[in-house]
Chains A and B, each alone.
Chain A
Amino acid sequence: MSDESALYPLETIKGVLENLPQYEKLGLETTVLERGRCVLRMNYGEHLVGNPDSGVLHGGAVTTLLDSVGGMVVFTLIPNGASCATLDLRIDYLKPATPGKAVMGEAIVYKLTKSVAFIRATAFHEGESDDPISHAFGSFMVGSVGFSPEAKEGGSA
C-alpha cells in the first residue's frame, strides 16, 4: 500500500461525502471504508419506490447508491487533492430489490491508472452478497475534473 499521507484520510472522505445533499437525502450510511473497498447502506423507504404496484425500488435509487459507492472507493486510492468524476457506469439489474429491505452497495477498484479508475460494484440485501440485485462496472476520471473531498474554491468541470 502506498504512503498513507499521500492519500485522503478515510475520515475526511466519509465526512465530506456523507454531507453531500443527495447522500444525505438518500440517507446513505458508510458501513465499510477501506482503501480499495467500500460498502454503503441505503435503507428502504416508500419515497424510493419506482413501481407503485409492487413497492419495488426505482432503479435510479440503486444507480445512485452504486455511483456513490463507486466514487467513494476511488477517493480511497487517489492522491490527496485529486478529484474524480464518473465517466461511465454500466449496470445489470439481476433481480428486483425486495420491498422493505435495505440495499447495500459495495465497490472495489480493480484497476487504477494515472487518469482513470476502474471499479466493479454490486448491490445486494444484507447477508446476501452472493445473490446480488445488480452488478455494475464503472470508470471514473481521476485528476482535475469533478469533485474533490478537499473543498477548494470552484472545482472545475
Chain B
Amino acid sequence: MSFLERYIELKKEGRLHELQDLIPYASFVGLETREDDKGLLTVLNQKNSNIGNTQIPAVHGGVVGALLEHSALMTVMWEQELTAFPKIVNVSIDYLRPAIGTKDTFARGVLIKQGRTVSNVRVQAWQDDENKPVAAAHCHILTG
C-alpha cells in the first residue's frame, strides 16, 4: 500500500497522529499531526536533540522550518484530494521570535490558493499563544 493510500485510510479513521510512524523524519524530530476544534494541527514535540541554540535554549531554525514545511504539506493533503505525494517547490520562512527549546511548538496552515498543479499555503508556528507566532512561512506545493 502506498503512503497516500495509507494516509487516506488514517484520515478517514481519524488516526492521523499515526502518520508519524510512517514518515521517518517526522519521528526523528517529533512531528505529529492531529485534528483539533480549529482544524488540522501539526505539533513539533519538545526534544532536546532539536536544539540549535543552547544559550536561550532555542529550537534549531531548520527544525522550525521543517515544522512549517511539514504543516504546509499536511494542509494540502488535508484540503485537496491528491493522487500523488505533494512536493514543495519553494518556501519562504520568517523567523519572528525564538522557539523555546523546552516547549512544544505548534503550526497551522491555510490553503490560500488551490491550483491545478501548484497550490499556495501559508503557515504560522507558535508556542504559548497562537497570536504570538515564533515563525511564519508561505510556500508553493506541487500537487499534480
Using a CB–CB cutoff of 8 Å, the interface residues on chain A facing chain B are 20-25, 46-54, 57-61, 63-68, 71, 83, 85-93, 96, 146-148, 151-152, 154-155, 157
Contacts and interface: CB of A to CB of B under 8 A. Distances in A.
A50 B3 contact: no
Contact of B65 (A89, A93, A147): A89
Contact of A53 (B2, B48, B94): B2
Given A21-B49, A47-B28, A157-B56, A90 B92 contact: yes
Interface string B1-32: 01110000000000000000011111111000
Interface in B79-115: 85, 87-95, 97-98
A146 B53 contact: yes
Contact of B60 (A20, A83, A91, A93): A20
A152 B55 contact: yes
Interface string B49-78: 111111110101111011101100000000
Top 3 nearest A-B pairs by Cβ distance? Answer: A60-B66, A64-B62, A155-B55
Contact of A154 (B55, B61, B65): B55
A51 B52 contact: no
Contacts of B54: 20-21, 147, 151
Contact of A20 (B4, B52, B91): B52
Contacts, number: 152
Given A21-B54, A22-B50, A59-B69, A86 B28 contact: no
Contact of A60 (B27, B52, B69, B94): B69
A23 B52 contact: yes
A48 B53 CA distance: 21
B92 A50 contact: no
Given A46-B24, A93-B89, A61 B66 contact: yes
A52 B23 contact: yes
A87 B95 contact: yes
A52 B26 CA distance: 11
Given A20-B52, A48-B25, A96-B87, A58 B63 contact: no
A57 B24 CA distance: 9
Given A48-B24, A51-B85, A60 B55 contact: no
Contact of A22 (B2, B24, B63): B63
A147 B53 contact: yes
B8 to A, nearest CB: 14
A66 B66 CA distance: 12
Nearest to B59: A22
Nearest to B31: A60
A91 B53 contact: no
Contacts of A23: 52, 60
Nearest to B138: A90
A32 B62 CA distance: 20
